Amino acid sequence: MSDIKSVLFVGVGGQGTILASKILTIGLIGHGYDVKMSEVHGMSQRGGSVSTQVRFGSQVYSPIIGEGSADVLVSFEEMEAARYARFLKKDGKMVVNTTQIPSLPVLSGDCPYPQDRGRIEETRPR
């Protein structure tokens, strides 16, 4: 049985998503874990989506977290929680900051910010 744990951090550029994952990574390495981290921050400087994946255990070969395999999902923004909820395990834990940061299409009036808070639960694996 694998002792590998996976933590997915998601948010919007400028919220500290990457910093939080780096702090966790440094702490885990300091406690003797093998840690792999991956980050995606394409348009993050413009308020776009940011995700970081941290996997740790006695021996980790890849930083990639597949759908339905994250032990913990930490979301710094509500819509990002809904976007990434499918990556959480059935028995995984989700921590969500309910602050809403409108994206550029919302700010420009092209589309409304989704208001259905049940959306996060609907996207989680059952």
How many domains is the chain built from?
1
What angle is formed at CA 102 by the lines to CA 97 and CA 108, rounded to 5 degrees?
180
CATH of the domain at 41: 3.40.920.10
Residue of 12 and 55 predicted with greater confidence: 55
DSSP assignment string, the chain: ----EEEEEEEETTSSHHHHHHHHHHHHHHTT-EEEEEEE-TTGGGT-EEEEEEEEESS-------TT-EEEEEESSHHHHHHHGGGEEEEEEEEE-------HHHHTTSSPPP--THHHHHHS--
Task: Name the residue range of residue 41's domain.
Answer: 5-123
pLDDT tens string 43-89: 555 667 889 999 999 999 999 999 999 999 999 988 889 889 999 99
